[in-house]
Each structure stands twice: as C-alpha cells, then as structure tokens.
Chains A and B, each alone.
Chain A
Amino acid sequence: MENIDMQDIDALINEEREKSKIDTEDINSSEKFKVDILAPHEQHIATVLLLDTSVSMSGDKISELIKGLRTFKEEAMKDRSVQKRAEFAIVTFDSSVEVVQDFAPIENIEIPIFKPKGDMTCMGHAIIKAIDMVNERKKIYRDRGISYYRPWIFMITDGEPNDMWPNGEEKDVELWTEVIKKVHEGNSEDKNVGKKFAFFTVGVEGANMKVLTLIAPPNRVPIKLSPDKWKEMFLWLVSSQSTASQHKPGEQISTEDPTDPKKGWGKFSI
C-alpha cells in the first residue's frame, strides 16, 4: 500500500516554495512592483469510506462494490480539485475493523479485492474508528497550517450492527449510546459540539433501514441504494467531492440530489 507520509508532504511544500521564489515574473507587473508570494497551499478534504465486508456482502454486492470503487478512482483522477485536495481512507468492518487504506490522495489509493468474512458486523467500532481518524487528520492539517473543509464519513452496509444495540447486553447498549451521540452531535450544526464531519449512510439490498435510520444523523437520513445503481452512487461521490473541495467561504455544501428520479441512485429511507 502506497501512502504519502508527512515527511513527503513537508518535502513537497519546501520544493514548491523554492520554485515560487524563482518564478516571480508573472506577479510583478511593473519594474518597481517586485513582491514574492507563498507557494500554492491546497486546502484539504478528508473522506473515510466505511465499508461493510461481512459475509452477507458476498457475491454480486462485493463485486459491485469493488467495480464501483474502481470507477470512483478513475473518475476522481480526472478531476483536478479532487486530485489535489481530497484525501481518502478506506476502513472495512466485518468481525473486525481494518484500516485497509490510510488517508492518501486518490492517485495513491489502491482498490483492494475485498473478501467478505466473519459472522459479525462491527459497525459500531468501525464508526468510532472513522470518527477518530477524521479528527486525527484534522489535527495534522492544523499542525501543518493547511486549511481544510469539513471531512466526510461515507458508510455503505447491507446489514445492521451486531456489536451495538439500543437494548440488551450492557456493552452493546454502551457502545450504541456512544456511537449515536458521536454521530448525531458530530454531524449536527451545533456550534459547540457539532460540525465535526458530515456522516452519510447508504443501505444496500438487505440492509435494516429502520436501524440505519436510528444510527444516521437526523439531519442526514440514510439512503437506500437502488438496484444496479452502484456506478451512479460512486459518480455522485466524485462530483460531490469535487463540489465540496471548491467551496468558497460562506458557501453551503450543495450536492446533487442523490434521490433525483432521473439522475439519482437511491431513495431516502424515512
């Protein structure tokens, strides 16, 4: 797996700075006006793709997912803004939670061949992991003086969690309560506890949409993927990332409607 580590990023920034010192002709409009400016410093947007790889995903669903991710990479590579500004991580969950790809620019993302396994769907632990990852990434951006947009967590599942539940065993309830609080608060617009990330939930065939509705933030209800619309969903994800990474101050993120009857790929589950 090829990742850019922070040393590489520092080296890249220094290299750009050196280049900028030489190339000042363009900005210096008259003989007297001779200034220097800083090298371009791309704003960043971090996205975690949180993917269910439990056994129920076997067969068509997992191959559609892999195919969709490949299309996603291909299309994202064509978009300058996504290429330069977006960073993606891939986290899978089944009987365990695995970071199969840490944050990296799209060109360095390798789409793995997922092999569904395990009789558990550790969605609760996976969500906590994704939230920790976006928080850590934001800290890295801050430490390096990189401006950034609100990160995204994009979860795709065909089931329901069985490492957390609203009632029953104490540990399940505890995790349920923690996850719901973190997801709902973090995705909210509350200026004290919210605005930490945008949390998207997609249920594919077989998903328990009732439970996903409880997990998803109230202001971002889950979307049920329509049959054979995997490709459309991933194309939407590219165009949304492109839009999100080009927003100017004060602009609200306005993505295309995923439930549009003609161009959309799913239905809201309420």
Chain B
Amino acid sequence: MQANITYPYIFGTSVPGPSHIRNAIPCQDSFAHETISNFGIIAVSDGLGSAKNSDIGAEIAVRSTIRRAKEILEKKILEFDDKKIFDDIISFVRAELEFKANELQCSLNELACTIIIVIIHNDNISVAHIGDGSVVARKNKNLILISGPGESEYINEVTPLTIIEWKTSLRFYKDSEIDSIAVFTDGCQEAIIQKNEKDLIPYDGFFNPLFSYAHKIFNNIKMGEKDIKDFLESQRMNEISEDDKTLVVAILGNDND
C-alpha cells in the first residue's frame, strides 16, 4: 500500500570542498528547486575556480533560473516547447548576470559558472546543460546518464554559460518513464560515475540505494537533506575530491519496487 505522496518531490544540498574551507574561499556551487503542481524545476550551478566572483554568479544563475521558469510555467508565457523555454530561461539568466557584473563593475567572465536545468513534468524530464556536472535518471529499473560533463580532454577545463557563443555549448535532452533523477556537480563525479574508454556509466552501487532511499523518505525530506550533507562531507568523499559538491535528488513517481 503506497501512502498518498505528492510527486515530484525534490531535495539536496551543496557543501564547500575541503580546499575551499582551508583557503577561506566561499562555496562556488549553488542549487535551487521548486515544484509547481505536477511540474518540478531544478537548477544546479558550479562557479569556475578561475573566476573571482563565481560564487555570486552561480547563486544568481540558479535563483534567476527558478524565477523565470516559475513565471513561464505559472503564467504560461510561452507554449510548452522545452527548447524555447530553455533558451528563454538562459537568456534571462545571462541578462541577470550582466546586470550583476555592471553592479560589481566586473566583467561577465568573473561571474563564470556552469548550469544544469531540469524541468520535470509527471514522469517526463527535459534537461538543458552548459559545462560539467551530470544528470542520472532511473528508467524502468535501468540507470541512464542523461547528461554527462561534456567534452573536454583535460580535467580542469570547462565551458561556462557566460561565454558569448553559449548556444553552441548548450546540450539538450529529454526522456520519459523516469521514476528518479540525481543532478550533481563535478565534485561528486569521480565517486559515483565509472569511466571506461568510451563511456561514462552511473555507478549502480551508489544510485540504486540512493534512489530506493529517496523513495522511502517522502515524509521526511529534512532527514534526506541531512543524510546527503553528511555523505558529501564525509572523509571518503573529500579524499576523492577537494572540490565543492552538490547533489540534488528528485522523485517523479512510484518506483514499483
């Protein structure tokens, strides 16, 4: 017997990496989420280490994503065409970043950050992605890497949404029959994504228990947030990456377990 659960429900957290704590650098990861009836919106952003104000950039990116997405979905400003919606949201986010850059009297590059936007509708997801980080989903009990960190040979290279030619770096994906998703920044990647020559594979030892857990805690999201925070701050996670870490989980519907 399944209790009366409202889907989607979303929870997650960002934690600063140990190197940032040591050097008194603010956490450059940011995330935000919102649910509007049976829609869910998730925004995750990772400020670039090389950009002076990227913590501010990442925060503006996620906040303005949610604000604009809410406007579009609530007031039905645009017809429901995922690509048009994402183009509109990212243009809005960039305008907000430019406004902030003017205010701070810095260049847009100093606010450089990545962006992952996920729109959930029933068991469908649409994803827009610039830069690294990843989205993993579970579909009919199979784990799928919906969007990976993008093509970059070296580990310290990434494309931010602040570049002029951002449209050429925007990746877009959609899928359906999804029961769970996880959105995370690159600080988590080495611990939970396996690599071989050609592919990146979500590590089932991590994602299956994570999603099963997330399905069970629908009535205690606060505990979920705390458990994820403890996990991201654990010594073993810090040994794998000194970087900031963000992990957001969304449950779209019954997992039929």
Contact = CB atoms under 8 A, between A and B. Distances in A.
A234 to B, nearest CB: 24
Interface residues of B, number: 46
Nearest to A43: B155
Interface residues of A, number: 36
Contacts of B210: 35
Given A35-B210, A37-B205, A145-B195, A250 B19 contact: no
Contacts of B192: 37-38
A249 B213 contact: no
B154 interface: yes
A40 B239 contact: yes
A38 B191 contact: yes
Interface in B203-256: 203, 205-206, 209-210, 213, 216-217, 223, 226-227, 230-231, 234-237, 239-240, 242-243
B179 interface: no
B46 A249 contact: yes
B77 to A, nearest CB: 33
A43 B189 CA distance: 12
B26 interface: no
B156 interface: yes
Interface of A: 20, 23, 26-30, 32-38, 40-41, 43, 138, 142-150, 195, 246-253
Interface of B: 19, 46, 48-51, 54, 112, 132, 153-158, 160, 186, 190-197, 203, 205-206, 209-210, 213, 216-217, 223, 226-227, 230-231, 234-237, 239-240, 242-243
16 contacts: A29-B226, A29-B227, A30-B230, A32-B213, A35-B205, A35-B210, A36-B206, A38-B193, A38-B203, A38-B240, A41-B195, A138-B153, A147-B190, A148-B155, A249-B155, A250-B157
